[in-house]
Chains A and B, each alone.
Chain A
């Protein structure tokens, strides 16, 4: 297996970033849905702390991933009809949008609460904006809808990948394994 991508296969770095972030993001969505429904408690506080720490990790990873994507060729989709290729690429770029927008809106909403996110106790990020309850509510709402958008995009992506593997029986999904 190659480190970088080729015309027909994703390299090990892209594969690790893909699956690593997939696991973190699935966990983050599940955690986000669970923790927001909890009453005030020590558990809730700790879960929010973890959510923020992993959110900072997502932001760091997605920046590395974008750099890697730009610096690298992307395996082609020329074997597919144009509309399918367009749909696949749109979903991929939508993911990049969500992966950037979710941590940034999360950072904005916790900044608006005056609670700067910590990165696993190693460093504390600055607050992006001053504490303000109406701003916090606004960013919380955007964050929530972005998460729903991510879930919808995730379903489309997984559905398409499984269609290629089990219906079309082509190589598309296997290039990321």
Chain B
């Protein structure tokens, strides 16, 4: 066996090891995690949460190129400080929960932007609209078995058709909606 053959066989043996070095799969600890939003109505903030969401998080800050996430939000779990608004948000003019029960965020492009800060570029689907979205997030904590991620992004609600008919006007309910999230994740 010449040297080239040896190297080639070695490479072939190592290949599965390299491929297997994918980012770890994290489980979301839903009790310590939250997705909230803040919009502006009548020049005043209104805040709310989506209390139910699940997701697959395969993330490692040292393997950003192979990291990927897929978050699924149960839109029907929307709650705000005022029930009439929560109920209105579920109607066909807003989220249309019956027709579009889930919002999905998928991202596989991660960039380090600072000491503990990153950005994720992906696609967010709300209702039947998919729009590219960039999230900024901070790894508040990152250990072998647990991590804490806090992040934010600002969406334009009309880009997703959230607020149709007269509600598509952005004078009383502004277009920009800030979304904040805290993800407490664990793994075996």
Q: Which residues of A contact B (CB under 8 A)?
A: 40-42, 45-46, 48-49, 52-53, 113-118, 120-121, 124, 131, 133, 136
Contact = CB atoms under 8 A, between A and B. Distances in A.
The 9 closest A-B pairs by CB, nearest first: A114-B81, A49-B42, A131-B81, A118-B43, A113-B82, A42-B166, A121-B43, A118-B44, A116-B44
Contact of B43 (A41, A114, A124, A136): A124
Interface residues of B, number: 19
B80 interface: yes
A115 B81 contact: yes
B118 interface: no
Interface in B165-181: 166-167, 169, 172-173
B42 A114 contact: no
Contacts, number: 50
B44 A40 contact: no
Nearest to B88: A40
Given A53-B42, A113-B81, A117-B44, 15 more contacts: A40-B84, A42-B166, A42-B172, A52-B42, A113-B82, A114-B46, A114-B80, A115-B81, A115-B82, A116-B44, A118-B42, A118-B44, A120-B43, A124-B44, A133-B82
Nearest to A123: B43
